Chain A
Amino acid sequence: MPPIPSSEITPEALFWNRRRFMQTALAGAALTIPGCAATPSASNPTPAPDASAAPVATTLPAGQGTVAGTSDELGQPLTDFAAVTGYNNYYEFTTDKQAVAAAAAGFVTNPWTVQVDGLVAKPRQFALEDILKLGNEERIYRLRCVEGWSMVIPWSGFSLNKLLALVEPTSAAKYVRFETLNDPERMPGQKEPWYTWPYAEGLRLDEAMHDLTLMATGVYGNPLPPQNGAPLRLAVPWKYGFKSIKSIVRITLTDTQPTSLWMAAAPDEYGFYANVNPRVDHPRWSQADERRIGDTGRRQTLMFNGYADAVASLYTGMDLRKFY
């Protein structure tokens, strides 16, 4: 596995920035770091003293916790809590994006275990409580859906590499396969015969080990609600949203490239990599631009969703039209 470039490691000064300190002191917020900020002072400026001293989160909507950041490292503001938790794809519950939250309400995620197996020295079944101990950092990531819309989301969780380190992948491991819970009684969408359930996704091992690859256990300062993939999901910000598999129960290290649900459903439309790329269109529509939820008009889609500095080197020499 490649070493993590030093630019990817959030400087400790940023980690302990004044604002986070104040919010922690005032509101008991969880430990937070801004996602992938390479130049902290420029991309995530410390607010003026009067701004940070302003009352913290006195009137939050139900289910919303406090978050330290208000924008991503490009200065783009967070998408509203209501949209982040009320508008997404989760075909296990319904194909209507705005109906997912209601359809998933009451989905029980306790108890929950995650089997981590395959080409590892120490296969293990993790109880959710043990996974939650691996960290709870705030990461503000852009999410670009393959359908052409996007959001800016304050996830919390830990880098997946922390979990993988515990099971010690062997030298034969090349890929990581992820699987969602398979339970049509609790996830009625799985009764639809159109797809090969359960949902599965995959990453190359170096992608999975990348610091940006987040195992998200929370959003907007609270544990994930069911509609967002409770109790734990991936957030791979440089790939289309469908790669960020939800409600994970199994992680398998393997030497063969996993076939995802979408690759099986429409191999000409959805490839293994699914990196955000404005120059490679979906067969049915352009990927050149996107609508940020809440905006009128569209913004240009950025290569690797704006994370090119951090991840482009993973794909050096690859034809991204071929490996879409």
Chain B
Amino acid sequence: MNRLSIRISAHLIGLIPLLWYASTLWRHGWPLDPVASYIAASGTAALQLLVASLAVTPVQRLSGRSALGVMRRPLGLYAFAYTMAHLLVYLMLDYAWNWSQISQNIFSKRHLIAGLLATLLFIPLALTSTTGWQKRLGRWWKHLHRIVYGAAGLAVLHYVWLVKSDTRIPYLYATIIGILLLMRLLPLRKVLHAQSR
């Protein structure tokens, strides 16, 4: 695959949740509680794209296809876009910008505090995602962008604390993110190289 087709693939992956949601509307009709539906769909999409962006480096290393690295930025930005959509639906449609209700609500629910923190952590990452900022920050850029694991942890916590009783799916995300983090920590490439020698 050349770089262009890899880039296009990244955008297709990023749009899957949106297309999937459109097909759900097509198959099941408009949701009866649209606000709840938009919130759930955008939140799930944000988490899925976050996992996809975190998977790029491990997949790149395991496959030895360094060109796949160009997927990291678009996937991360799609995750950020879905996160913003999630927040916007909450503020605009669920609470109709009623700030007293919103602040009262957010600070009374631990899952909302975790979600808010995750969102706040995403903002500097999205802002510094450009090549210009990457150059300007130099080696600090990598350190800064390790924040994404903290944000991912908070996002999963947001989900775990939110669900009523069946925590299988949130824990599935937690497990996947944990494995992806472990793969970053372990010197996988060295292990693989040692084996192939």
Contact = CB atoms under 8 A, between A and B. Distances in A.
Interface stretch (B1-9, B26-34, B138-146): B26-34
A98 B35 CA distance: 13
A317 interface: no
Interface string A77-121: 000101100110000000101100000000000000000000000
B181 interface: no
* Majority-rule SS of B interface residues: helix
A237 to B, nearest CB: 20
Contacts of A149: 33, 36
B35 to A, nearest CB: 6
Contact of B165 (A82, A266, A286): A266
Nearest to B168: A194
Contacts of A296: 35, 93, 96
B63 to A, nearest CB: 37
Interface stretch (A12-20, A43-51, A125-133, A287-295): A287-295
Interface in B71-109: 93-96, 98, 101, 104-105, 108-109
Contacts of B37: 98
Contacts of A288: 101, 104-105, 108
Contacts of B32: 80, 82-83, 86-87, 98, 293
A9 B27 CA distance: 47
A149 B162 CA distance: 15
Contacts of B165: 194-195, 265-266
Interface string A25-37: 0000000000000
Contacts of B98: 297-298
Interface string A281-310: 100111011010100111000000000000
B111 A284 contact: yes
A97 B33 contact: yes
A286 B108 contact: yes
A308 B112 CA distance: 30
Contacts of B94: 291, 297-298
Contacts of A86: 32
Interface in B103-150: 104-105, 108-111
A87 B33 contact: yes
Give the interface size class of chain A.
20 to 34
A297 B105 CA distance: 13
B96 A83 contact: no
A147 B105 CA distance: 13
A85 B35 CA distance: 18
B101 A298 contact: yes
B21 interface: no
Nearest to B111: A284
Nearest to A88: B32
A288 B105 CA distance: 8
A194 B28 CA distance: 28
Contact of B109 (A194, A286, A293, A297): A286
Contacts of B95: 297-298
Contacts of B31: 98
Interface in A264-288: 265-266, 281, 284-286, 288
Interface in A196-250: none
Given A289-B101, A293-B33, A296-B93, A281 B108 contact: yes
B137 to A, nearest CB: 38
Nearest to A297: B96
A168 to B, nearest CB: 39
A297 B111 CA distance: 20
Of B28, B33, B98, which is in contact with the most chain A CB atoms at under 10 Å from its CB?
B33
A147 B37 CA distance: 14
Contacts of B96: 296-298
A153 to B, nearest CB: 14
Given A147-B164, A286-B105, A298-B95, 7 more contacts: A95-B166, A98-B32, A195-B165, A288-B104, A289-B105, A291-B94, A293-B32
Interface of B: 28, 31-33, 35-37, 93-96, 98, 101, 104-105, 108-111, 161-162, 164-166
28 contacts: A80-B32, A86-B32, A95-B166, A149-B33, A194-B166, A265-B165, A266-B165, A281-B108, A284-B109, A284-B110, A285-B108, A285-B111, A286-B104, A288-B101, A288-B105, A288-B108, A289-B105, A291-B36, A293-B33, A296-B35, A296-B93, A297-B93, A297-B94, A297-B95, A297-B96, A298-B95, A298-B98, A298-B101
